[in-house]
Structure 1
């Protein structure tokens, strides 16, 4: 038997030493960073910058991957076949791409079911914003293969996963807590959408609306910073052209269109959104209940999608980044456009449930543009003298479908506005979006995102605590410190009344900051001789207080961005300390709401 190489122990020793040096460097970097950034707000604002920049570079790398897959699966065969022959061969090519994408997820991603936008929402809500690296990389590669190979899927899904993964990685690098990690994952999400669509506002509000679920000041500022940085970097890489080329001259709506036709368009888009949601989950049910061997499902799905693309003469594919040809949508007959919308829904549902990978957001823009263009063409045909521009309805339909299918109305409005840069479209866009969202609630319980979560047991209905405020649950008489209280006196008080934070007030009762038991312990450890000299004002750290009229939802969001177990509550006008609200207070209020939902006779006052 061959003896082990004498070089192996030396190599292992060098590797272990390198890993120890890296770990020591991370600890030193995190410690030094904490000395510079003394509050969670500062930590988030500083780290949002590298998250935004790295995410933009990740978008570039992903697009390069799509281009490489496109060259392999479609460009190379095109050099050997005539155009019609390549179109006829597409079912086989797409089946091969789906098989390759499925193999990547099976072997590299360990058959991870998630790593999409709703899974990121779940990770932020229940896993502290931590994104596993290997499944995220596998999903990104599989999505590049799917999209580049001709599948009907959106690039925003893997980009959101990658952006959230960047935020999670930066959080681990600087050793921050779970509350900061959640916000940084949201920053990565915002940066990904902003860079992908050249839309910083839409990116920021998508993260706030869908991923973080709140518009609090604690998360708003870093999310906006990450989104802006990402767009600045991406414009340097890709230019400032919008993701979807929009006609430069769109006809302005008249009163009939504003009060009648555009709300009707919203209702039609609600029907299309409901069809999209139901078709998507029906395809998922078919794939899961099918007795077809697992290895054969990507082949079947690829053949079906390829036949749909062949039947549409390639119109369902767009380019490799799934752009919606709005100029074409404004010229085709209305029945053709409705057929394209239905075909896109079916092609996307089959792609994502039969081996392919990608997102559902970008296809919803295609479906909305086709649906809006179809309705606009029909109206122009029925009302020939009114100068109706079908392209205007295509643009409004895009925002409405995003609102209905993904449950993100603000994102839908801002995204289309930023893509067109035309303020005259805001009114018709808002009317279509509101009409679609209102009717969609009655037609379908879930969006594409919430439905995915609900089917996996992660979207239970939350009790309604929106009417309760911080003033209803706060502790009005917490232990507090005067600014001149010494460390020794503070420790004595803490021993009599244990409390996770001690608010510090000045001589007139105005809030200054908080002192934690850890800070007191560190002061005694480092300088015990100063126990009667150091005062509370020296140890106080700034924690943004709440006001008594703040909602419990706002308080919960604030807790997600701070490691402290309690937050001071102050008067809105004079800054005087009114009490302390803790995580336990929020949980107690939530429990009361649950009991009230089960037995209304026991509802809290």
Structure 2
């Protein structure tokens, strides 16, 4: 599937941009003026597709969301739509990569296989991770990279139980691509280096800089989306407007177009760019990627972040050369460090980047250097921003997903599933004498007080009716009501419900069908909620260990 999708996208690029054989669009020296209209044409096509799909009102689910909330369940139709939009975006030159399409199709194939085999939730999530691992391994010719991409980003954790199937998928994918004459690493760096304290300090600095640029790029995507909303540009027209802007940037340098494969190969094969030119390309590529995604083009930033990081690595090389010419023997070393730092910031997988360096260079010292940069970048993003690009997109639309850890059971564990429906109720105007006759001590723990119209008035702790001797038998039940304005509703999640218990220091709360109508349908105690939550948490942990 990876080879097929790649071939279709490259065919589109070759046809539309009239590329020479074996030439990538981002590696061209320049473009004719009319080529700036090609990304805009792709935007028009995406806008028309969006209009045609408007009636579906579907929210397309990617692998991270599927594993986090839906137990690995993916829709084949939705995945084909995502993949088609990604191919159009990349094929027409938008500044996005194909990795989103690769992993989506790998994941949905695994999900449908799991459906056929009727796998349980935990196994389905692992199998979807295998599909993603195979896709990334095939795309980069790197089985360890694919495997740890799945562990860090799709499954959300690494266990011995998942090692064998995920590694098997990654190795098999690389072997299959090798049968077709592909499967080589994206670049090869044979240089062996020695890492000392001066290099480590520069590498940490590189990690912090790439982390900051990763945050800038993610923020910029949200800013572009906000700008389109501010200027009230219709959703269907945004890709065309964004495509025109990206095409204009492509006239300055074609390196900003597509994912950047050709430009990356050219960067490693040619001498390092001058500092000003390298910084300019980074600026233009960041802008092009943000406009592409903010305008509505579909795709990922995995490879784009590798290209950006490589150019930033050239800047690091010039800095090191200015400090001490012997720090880095050649520019490919800081380029690989920059690739790992920026990709770890945006994609969110430091170990994935470390293994990419290992499989690219075969050098353990260089792998350690890359890991230092990736960890520094990831820590900066985590502490100051808190999201990778994928989870940032969830945040922009109101989701709270931080990773692919299975939190779907938390969404399913609602108040409506846990409440008791056998509610005891009395009128709030009943006298305490009558209440004590109906509910002697020990007969019940809590009773619901209702208004004349049947709406919730408050909760009565039966012990309160006997605790205060100053209350005369003629006093009304309404005088001992608790939590008169605190109610739960059936769709409320366990975490939010517990927050209400904590805030109001309540042992039990009423459940109403609607907060405005206040019609009582059940009750829920804090002890029962915590017990159910604990049981589900233990079950989720057991799934991870199996």
Q: TM-score, normalised by structure 1?
A: 0.62
| Gap change, CA 1:255 and 1:460, over 3 Å in 2 | closer
What is the match of residue 24 of structure 1? none
Whole-angstrom distance in 1 between the partners of 2:290 and 2:344: 18
Q: Distance in 1 between matches of 2:147 and 2:260?
A: 25
Shift of 1:183: 1.7
**Counterpart of 2:308?**
367
Name 2:167's counterpart in structure 1: 224
- After superposition, what is the alpha-carbon deviation per residue over 1:290-323, rounded to whole angstroms, capped at 9, x for unaligned? 41233331221111111111112x1223787566
Q: Determine the C-alpha separation between the residues in 2 that align with 1:417 and 1:371.
A: 20
Distance in 2 between residues matched to 1:209 and 1:84, nearest whole Å: 37
TM-score (norm 2): 0.68
The Cα shift of 1:111 comes to 6.9
Shift of 1:368: 0.9
Distance 1:256 1:89, change over 3 A: farther
Instruction: Describe the shift of the 1:113–1:392 C-alpha distance in structure 2 as closer, same or farther (beyond 3 A).
Output: farther
- Equivalent pair of 2:138/2:183 in contact (CA under 8 Å): no
Aligned twin of 2:109: 166
Hey, what does 1:316 align to over in structure 2?
256
- Whether 1:124 aligns to 2:67 is yes
Q: For residue 315 of structure 1, give the secondary structure of its aligned residue in structure 2.
A: helix
- 1:225 deviates by 1.4
1:588 aligns to what? 534
Q: Deviations over 1:143-190 (max 9, x none)?
A: 112212111111111111111110111112233333322221111111
The corresponding residue for 2:400 is 459
| Partner residue in 1 for 2:346 | 405
Structure 2 unaligned runs (5+)?
A: 22-27, 406-528, 539-546
TM superposition shift of 1:411: 0.8
In structure 2, distance between residues paired with 1:111 and 1:339: 42
Pick 1 or 2: higher relative contact order, CA cutoff 8 A, min separation 6.
2
Partner of 1:577: none
1:269-348 matches, cutoff 5 A: 269-312=210-253, 314-317=254-257, 321=261, 324-325=264-265, 326-327=267-268, 330-348=271-289
CA separation in 2, counterparts of 1:454 and 1:76? 39
Unaligned runs of 5+ in 1: 1-57, 465-582, 593-605
CA distance in structure 1 between the partners assigned to 2:105 and 2:236 by the alignment: 27
How far, CA to CA, are the matches of 1:330 and 1:115 in structure 2? 43
Deviations 1:451-491 (A, max 9, x none): 112233332579x9xxxxxxxxxxxxxxxxxxxxxxxxxxx
- Residue 90 of structure 2 corresponds to residue 90 of structure 1: no
Other-structure match for 1:520: none
Question: Which has the higher Rg, Structure 1 or Structure 2?
Answer: 2
Cα distance, 1:73 vs structure 2: 1.6
After TM superposition, give the deviation of residue 59 of structure 1 in Å.
Answer: 0.7
**How far apart in 2 are the matches of 1:247 and 1:77?**
27
Aligned length: 407
Structure 1 position 211, deviation (Å) = 1.1
Within a 5 Å distance, the mapping from 1:224-243 to structure 2 comes to: 224-242=167-185
**What residue in structure 1 maps to residue 46 of structure 2?**
101
Instruction: Describe the SS at the equivalent of 1:324.
Output: helix
